[in-house]
């Protein structure tokens, strides 16, 4: 079974530029998550989708970050404009159904390592 | 107080040693608990789920103390391949599948 796919794997941009990340979850997984992991810290949830609807975006800095999952499958996360403190690994994860305890397990993609200079 | 707090690392242990990691969580309503493993520059992967009073999987034992809001992970007979960062993770059921991660504890097993 194919895992969670993400691209690009690495990105270097200058502050104030824009960047977009793409995620393709495991086939059939209804719930998709975007996390930000800053060096030395655990992942922090940015946004959670259930199919194509947003379940939780309370920690998404909406002045500069946006995310969409238009057809309930692939998702994109955008940062515009980027700041130095956005340097981090952006992880996408998916789960079968986030509302069922038996299917809580989240599978993570390899992440996109963003460096903002 | 952090939502999920772990022992600061790193832990440097010799092969064959027993090592224990501790974790505390702040939300007493939390229901599900996990340990994830993250290798250097890799994504987190589920190591163990802890649903009741604890469970064991080979050399790994996870314990849960709800009264103290405390979770532990014990690794017996450490292997070089156990070197990684161990993330304590809590699911707050009232928020669906949202996972709260601790900052991680780095383990380095030396020959």
Tens digit of pLDDT for each residue in A33-85?
999 999 999 999 999 998 889 989 999 999 999 999 988 899 999 999 999 99
- Say which residues have a Cβ less than 8 Å from residue B35's Cβ, sequence separation at least 6: B46, B47, B48, B50, B60, B62, B71, B73, B86, B87, B88, B89
Q: Is residue B2 scored above 90 in pLDDT? A: no
Contact at CB, B97 and A42, closer than 8 angstroms: no
- Residue that has been written with the tokens 């608990």 in this structure: B33
Instruction: Note whether A5 and A23 are within 8 A (CB).
Output: yes
Residue A102 pLDDT class (50, 70, 90 cuts)? low
pLDDT of residue A99: 57
- For A12-26, write each residue's pLDDT tens digit: 999 999 999 999 999
Mutate which: A23, A43, A50, vs B, most B CBs within 10 A: A43
- Chain B residues whose C-beta sits inside 8 Å of any chain A C-beta: 4, 31-32, 42-46, 49, 87, 89, 91, 93, 95-104
Residue that wins the pLDDT comparison between B31 and A16: A16
Tens digits of residue pLDDT in B46-91? 999 886 778 899 999 999 999 999 999 999 999 999 999 999 999 8
């Amino acid at each position: 079974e194919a895992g969670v796919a993400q691209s690009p794997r690495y990105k270097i941009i200058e502050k104030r530029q824009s960047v977009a990340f793409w995620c393709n979850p495991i086939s059939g997984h209804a719930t998709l998550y975007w996390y930000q992991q800053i060096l030395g810290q655990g992942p922090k949830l940015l946004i959670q989708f259930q199919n194509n609807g947003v379940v939780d975006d309370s920690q998404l800095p909406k002045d500069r970050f946006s995310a969409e999952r238009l057809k309930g499958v692939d998702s994109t996360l955008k940062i515009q404009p980027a700041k130095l403190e956005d340097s981090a690994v952006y992880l996408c994860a998916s789960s079968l159904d986030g509302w069922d305890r038996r299917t809580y397990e989240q599978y993570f993609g390899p992440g996109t390592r963003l460096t903002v200079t | 107080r952090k939502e999920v707090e772990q022992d600061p690392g790193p832990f440097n242990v010799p092969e064959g040693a027993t090592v224990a990691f501790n974790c505390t969580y702040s939300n007493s309503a939390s229901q599900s608990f996990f340990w994830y493993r993250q290798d250097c520059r890799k994504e987190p992967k589920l190591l163990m789920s802890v649903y009741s009073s604890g469970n064991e999987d080979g050399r790994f034992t996870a314990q849960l103390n709800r009264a103290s809001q405390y979770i532990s992970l014990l690794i017996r007979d450490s292997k070089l391949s156990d070197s990684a960062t161990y993330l304590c993770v809590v699911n707050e059921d009232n928020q669906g599948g949202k996972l709260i991660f601790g900052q991680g504890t780095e383990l380095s097993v030396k020959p």
